[in-house]
Amino acid sequence: MKKRIIAGVTVVAAVAIFLGLRGGGKGESAEKDMPVAEAQKGDLVIDVLEGGNIQALNFLEFRNEVKSANGVKILEIIDEGYYVTEEDVANGKVLVRLDQSELEEAIVDHDVQFQQTEAAYAEAKQSIEIQESEALSSIKLERQKLRFALLDFQKFVGAQAAQATLKKLGLPFDNDSLATYEKEATTLIVNAFDTRKLADDATDDTSVTNFALEADDSLAANVNFGSFLKDELLGDGEAEQTIRRMRDEALVASSELSVVEESVEGAKRLHQREFITKQTLENEMVGLDKARLALQRSETELELFRDYEFPKEAEKMLSVYEEALLSLIRSKRGKMAQMSQIYAKYRSAKRRYELELKKRENLEEQLASCVIRAKLPGLVAYGGANDNYYTSRFYDGISSGATLKNGQPIITIPDMSKLGVEVNIHESHIKKIGLGQKVYITAESVPDKTLVGRIAKVAVLPDSNASRYNPSLKVYPATVEIDGTHEFLKPGMSAKVEIIVEELEDVTYVPVQAVFVENSEHFVFLKTLGGYKRQKVMIGANNNDFIELREGVEEGDTVFLKMPDSYEPAKLQNSRIARGADERKIETGKVDGKTASTAGETEEAVESDEKA
């Protein structure tokens, strides 16, 4: 295989050397009648020629804004071509009047629903104020109950003992600590009602467990109030006052018993001497029993209070205080949940009211759009300013009695002080076009006048409408702004535009059909005495007629405008040389080491390459 390639290359090189020695001559008689042109030197304008329509760059366009499935009819419309004057604008002259009966019925039907929605919204708004007031009052009562429970506990066991106990249990012990506790608890409650967190937790049920009906003991149950008496921790509380009173009562009873005992002893001595009767002595003895019972009762009451009543009342009051703390949090949670529902109801009512209000405003705007009045002086034209075949064909013609679709252009009043040309740039030229480039415009109705303009806008994407029926066609819409004002120009006129891409000075150029390309190499065919010569060139910019040649051709050289019939491209020459070498190998019985039986396949491959 390598031998065949080397042989083919050698033959091609030999043929090239031979042709070079002959000066490239190729049958003078065959090329003498071919078209030729001389290379010229001078100024060359690189331009792009396109056609388009003159349009007003600024215009006032009125469209049908009535949203109806069946469309809306035109009751009356101004004649096309009518010139709207400044006086018409000042007087608000009616240009178009549409049928508004269907809209009026829709507004009447919507009024009932709108009033109901408005009433529900007002009720929801008032409900927020009422529920907020009730919630705050309820929380105030719970807060007051909590303070009273703390005061009762402090009153019973004493302020010092109460503070020590509550600190040990980690509970609020005064007003300041209560305020801090409530603030922290409120923050946790508000965070628990965070809508985003609730939405995230809604997909996860692991944090929710079944209620087991089991509750932990209160913190008060773990306090040994008996130690308060042993350690004398009680201050001047109610319990201490009670104990003191009972002690005093027992002391008084003990003193009374001593007095009665002395009296009984004296009565006994008097009875022995018969100074008093037996009955008097028995009465003294009864008094002694009463004094003893009174002392026993006082001592028992003191023991019962110390051992049973005091611990029970202390634990009860501490439990009440603890429950008041929890009740305040429960109340806040409940009111927060209740207010969340109220707020949700309010937001729903407000959203529904806003939707109905927007619908009402939209109906009123549509009703107002049924009458179109003059807003700008100018010439009235039917349809839209940018109507073309691909859009206007879906709409009925504009006339009195015609049915309009939603969004359909009705009339347009162009601003004649600023006109331009809408053109479509083919994709092969789009890289040459840039904003601000100079443009010469010629209206077909006035071919003797050439206007000057500038490129004002170039689309980034190709026009999808243009390629709808021809997918291979890619054109980019561009806008040319015409300098100055010209009374003879009218919107819709056809015009030709010459976009000046570049103005080259003192360059060599030839007709574009004289330059050929092969294997990414550009060349021309120079006319020689013996025929032609293939000359490699370096090209520059080009327009539709001429192309700049930077190297390879001089001014006055004659070039062919078509490829000579006798010229064979390099690929075709290589395939023929390779086929000739293979034919010689077939005669010897081998083709690159293969037998003659496979030579036919090689010949077919060569023919396939030649056709390709």
Phi, psi torsion values for 387, nearest 5 degrees: -65, 140
Whether the predicted pLDDT of 497 surpasses 90: yes
Contacts of 22 (CB under 8 A, 6+ apart): 530
The count of other CB atoms within 10 Å of the CB of residue 307 is: 12
Q: How far is 426 from 47, CA to CA, in rounded Å? A: 13
Q: What is the mean pLDDT of residues 45-72?
A: 88
Whether the predicted pLDDT of 597 surpasses 60: no
Report strand pairing: 72-77 vs 419-426.
Answer: unpaired
Contacts of 356 (CB under 8 A, 6+ apart): 110, 113, 114, 117, 118
Whether the predicted pLDDT of 338 surpasses 60: yes
Whether the predicted pLDDT of 539 surpasses 90: yes
Supply the mean pLDDT for the chain. Answer: 79
* Helix (H), strand (E), coil (C) string for 444-509: CCCCCCCEEEEEEEECCCCCCCCCCCCCCCCEEEEEEEECCCCCCCCCCCEEEEEEEEEEEEEEEE
Whether the predicted pLDDT of 120 surpasses 70: yes
Whether the predicted pLDDT of 596 surpasses 80: no
Q: What is the mean pLDDT of residues 262-279?
A: 85
Can you tell me whether residue 427 is helix, strand or coil? coil
What pLDDT, on the 0 to 100 scale, is given for residue 281?
A: 82
pLDDT band for position 205 (50/70/90)? Answer: low
Q: How far is 526 from 303, CA to CA, in rounded Å? A: 139
Q: Tell the burial category of 6 from Cβ atoms under 10 Å away from its Cβ (0-12, 13-18, 19+).
A: exposed
Which tokens go with 62?
Answer: 């009125």
pLDDT band for position 31 (50/70/90)? Answer: low
Q: What is the pTM of this model?
A: 0.51
Whether the predicted pLDDT of 238 surpasses 60: yes
Whether the predicted pLDDT of 142 surpasses 50: yes
506 closest CA partner among 543, 548, 536: 548
Report strand pairing: 475-482 vs 419-426.
Answer: antiparallel
What pLDDT, on the 0 to 100 scale, is given for residue 348?
A: 92
Which tokens go with 216?
Answer: 């932990």
Q: Tell the burial category of 137 from Cβ atoms under 10 Å away from its Cβ (0-12, 13-18, 19+).
A: exposed
pLDDT band for position 513 (50/70/90)? Answer: very high
- Give the amino acid at 598: T
Whether the predicted pLDDT of 567 surpasses 80: yes
What pLDDT, on the 0 to 100 scale, is given for residue 206?
A: 55
Q: Are 56 and 381 in contact (CB under 8 A)?
A: no
Residue with more model confidence, 459 or 492: 459
pLDDT band for position 526 (50/70/90)? Answer: very high
Which tokens go with 153?
Answer: 């506990």
Report strand pairing: 94-98 vs 409-414.
Answer: unpaired
Whether the predicted pLDDT of 506 surpasses 70: yes
Whether the predicted pLDDT of 110 surpasses 60: yes
Report the phi/psi class of residue 71: left, alpha or beta, with left for phi > 0 and alpha for psi in -120 to 50: left
What pLDDT, on the 0 to 100 scale, is given for residue 594?
A: 40
What pLDDT, on the 0 to 100 scale, is given for residue 395?
A: 66
Q: What is the mean pLDDT of residues 461-484?
A: 84
What pLDDT, on the 0 to 100 scale, is given for residue 131?
A: 86
Whether the predicted pLDDT of 598 surpasses 50: no
Q: How far is 501 from 524, CA to CA, in rounded Å? A: 25
What pLDDT, on the 0 to 100 scale, is given for residue 579?
A: 55
What pLDDT, on the 0 to 100 scale, is given for residue 197?
A: 56
Report the percent of the chain where pLDDT is more than 90.
23
pLDDT band for position 9 (50/70/90)? Answer: very low
Domains in the chain (CATH in brackets) are 2-43+506-611 (2.40.420.20), 63-99+370-414 (2.40.50.100), 115-196+218-351 (no CATH)
Whether the predicted pLDDT of 114 surpasses 70: yes
Q: Which of 15-19, 28-32, 452-456 has the lowest mean pLDDT?
A: 15-19
Q: Which long-range contacts (CB under 8 A, 24 or more apart) does 140-144 make?
A: 142/324, 142/327, 142/328, 142/331, 143/182, 143/328
What pLDDT, on the 0 to 100 scale, is given for residue 193?
A: 67
What pLDDT, on the 0 to 100 scale, is given for residue 134?
A: 86
Whether the predicted pLDDT of 608 surpasses 50: no
pLDDT band for position 575 (50/70/90)? Answer: low
The count of other CB atoms within 10 Å of the CB of residue 11 is: 17
Residue with more model confidence, 313 or 205: 313
What confidence tens digit (pLDDT) does each residue in 422-443 have? 999 988 888 889 999 999 999 9
Can you tell me whether residue 104 is helix, strand or coil? helix
Whether the predicted pLDDT of 583 surpasses 80: no
Q: Which of 40-44, 493-497, 541-545 has the lowest mean pLDDT?
A: 541-545
DSSP letter assigned to residue 273: T
What pLDDT, on the 0 to 100 scale, is given for residue 204?
A: 56
